Amino acid sequence: MVNIVGILNITSDSFSDGGLFLELVDAVEKARSLITEGANWLDIGAEASNPEGEKISARKEIERLAVILKVLKPEKFRISIDTYKPEVIKYVLQHGVKMINDITGLKNPESIEILSGSKVPVVIMFARNKNPHAEKTTRSYTTLLDEIKSFFEERLNTLSKAGIKTDRIILDPGMGFFLGGTPEPSLKVLKNLKELKKSFNRPLFISTSRKSFIGSVLNRPVRERNYGTLATEIWAYLQGVDYIRTHDVKPLNDAVKMLQAIQDIK
């Protein structure tokens, strides 16, 4: 069964919905809506990771997260936090968060130490950029699968030695500008999802939602990428991806239910 992960960005500058959910009342309404529409998880991010996104302090990130976590905690939602800062990871674990989604692949030794003392699952993402924000650099995709495999092999080995058991780790091969400034790297990864899953026998986590490569292929602005997004998400589901992170939960949930009904008929 696939886990649908609803995106909740409480930022001023996320590429798709920056500023829409900065106010607490809007963020809480959106969180409840995502769950009602079929999300199994909420993935809350307080810092945008797009190339133009502002880098904010851990303190500011915690301030943004604290108010919404206080409201949502009694509602028992399964919450993941999209962060790479050890101070933020420590804070949210103390406040009942059930998963960490680290777009830097959990490279910070302090973050590793904090998470080694917990039992929550951790999403580690592959990215070609050297800082936490994506880059628009054009990159070849001929060696991409080998790069991803080498990265995950190293991280799984390092994290296991540090006390984070492999069965807690979820793998995200990255998408969009995290892989390169053209569509081909993302398309290459999508085409080879089964191979990546087979190579590591770990759950895969994918987030194609409204990404740049969809806009490039279809020549669509961000707000007109929903159908292209859904196509990539259905593809990911059919390749056996375990977690699909999306802005648009309801269409994906409906699509998955129909696919499951077809697959289950005798």
**Rounded CA separation 1/245 (Å):** 14
Q: How many CA within 13 A on the CB side of residue 24? A: 10
By the 10 Å C-beta count (0-12 exposed, 13-18 middle, 19+ buried), 259 is classed as: middle
Residue 190: which of 131, 246, 238 has the closest Cα? 238
pLDDT band at 56 (very low <50, low <70, confident <90, very high): confident
Single pTM value for the model: 0.95
pLDDT for residue 226 = 96
Task: Give the list of residues 6+ apart from residue 191 with CB closer than 8 angstroms, or none.
Answer: none
Which of 90, 168, 225, 245 is catalytic? The answer is 245
Model confidence at 51, pLDDT cuts 50, 70, 90, reads confident
Nearest to 208 by CA among 181, 184, 226: 226
Report residue 48's pLDDT band, with 50, 70 and 90 as the boundaries: confident
Q: List the chain domain ranges.
A: 3-264
Q: What's the whole-number average pLDDT of the chain?
A: 93
Q: How far is CA 56 from CA 53, 61, 133, 153, in A?
A: 9, 7, 12, 31
Contact yes or no for 7/80 (Cβ under 8 A): no
Does position 262 have pLDDT exceeding 70, yes or no? yes
In this model, does residue 131 exceed pLDDT 90? no
Local confidence band at 53 (pLDDT 50, 70, 90 cut-offs): low
From CA 22, how far away is CA 10, in angstroms rounded? Answer: 5
* Least confidently predicted of 61-65, 121-125, 144-148, 185-189: 61-65
Does the pLDDT value for residue 135 go beyond 70? yes
Q: Which residue has the tokens 């409201």?
A: 71
From 211, 223, 250, 257, the catalytic residue: 211
CA angle 122, 137, 11 (to 5 degrees): 50
pLDDT-derived band at 115, boundaries 50, 70, 90: very high
Q: How many CA atoms lie within 13 A of 82 on its CB side?
A: 25
What are the tens digits of pLDDT across the range 173-187? 999 999 999 999 999
Instruction: Summarize pLDDT for 1-31 with one digit per residue, the tens.
Output: 899 999 999 987 565 655 677 788 889 999 9
What's residue 168's pLDDT? 97
Residues 148-171 have a mean pLDDT of 97
The beta strands (E) that lie in the chain are given as: 3-9, 41-45, 79-82, 99-102, 122-125, 169-172, 205-206, 243-246
**Topology at the third CATH level for domain 3-264:** TIM Barrel (3.20.20)
- Say whether 194 is catalytic: no
For the ranges 52-66, 115-129, 166-180, 247-261, the lowest mean pLDDT is seen at: 52-66
- Residue pLDDT, tens place only, 184-238: 999 999 999 999 999 999 999 999 999 999 999 999 999 999 999 999 999 999 9
